[in-house]
Amino acid sequence: MKIDSNFITYEDYLDTSNHIITIYVQSDVCLVDEYGEPLSRIEADGSITILYEEPEVYRINLDQLVELRIQEDRDDNGEFVPTKIGFYIKDKYDNVEELFWIDLARLMNDITSTKEYPWYAFLQNREYVGFQYKQVSCYDNTIR
């Protein structure tokens, strides 16, 4: 997931003005030398540090976000509950692209103070409107 026009350097990461979402990507593959051995550095205390590429930071501005999609699943009581939220942007050819999805159950568990996030009650109370992409399938409980 690389969006060339939104790629910024690590130094720019500290500047949080004029954007809604910052995605910080750290590589899990270390740098290697010409023999395929991992590059390392010996620190002052004698410890060895394996070197990785510089982290990549992607910034999504509010004006680039064109859609938020909320996926609802039917629970055991037959009621629909929001389970995921998806973010969509337009590319340079005005095609709508899926950026990423967030699992709402995990997100809600990680939130410590709900008062800091006005959208929390909005999702919990299902205070959103929009249109439905597909009806419920006869074979599963998911609105798509």
42 and 91 both lie in a single domain: no
What is the per-residue pLDDT for 143? 53
With respect to residue 131, please indicate whether it lies within any of the assigned structural domains. no
16 and 49 both lie in a single domain: yes
CA–CA gap between residue 1 and residue 57 (Å, rounded): 11
With respect to residue 38, please indicate whether it lies within any of the assigned structural domains. yes
CA–CA gap between residue 11 and residue 83 (Å, rounded): 35
The pLDDT of residue 97 is above 90: no
CB 60 within 8 A of CB 20: yes
Say which residue, 61 or 10, is predicted with more confidence: 61
73 and 106 both lie in a single domain: yes
Residue 110 CB: number of other CB atoms within 10 A?
7
CA–CA gap between residue 9 and residue 138 (Å, rounded): 48
19 and 66 both lie in a single domain: no
Q: What is the three-class DSSP state of 12?
A: helix
Q: What is the average pLDDT value for the chain, to the nearest integer? A: 76
87 and 38 both lie in a single domain: no
What is the span of the domain harbouring residue 81? 62-124
With respect to residue 142, please indicate whether it lies within any of the assigned structural domains. no
What is the value of pTM for the model shown? Answer: 0.54
With respect to residue 137, please indicate whether it lies within any of the assigned structural domains. no
Least confident of 39-43, 76-80, 94-98, 139-143: 139-143
Domain total in the chain: 2
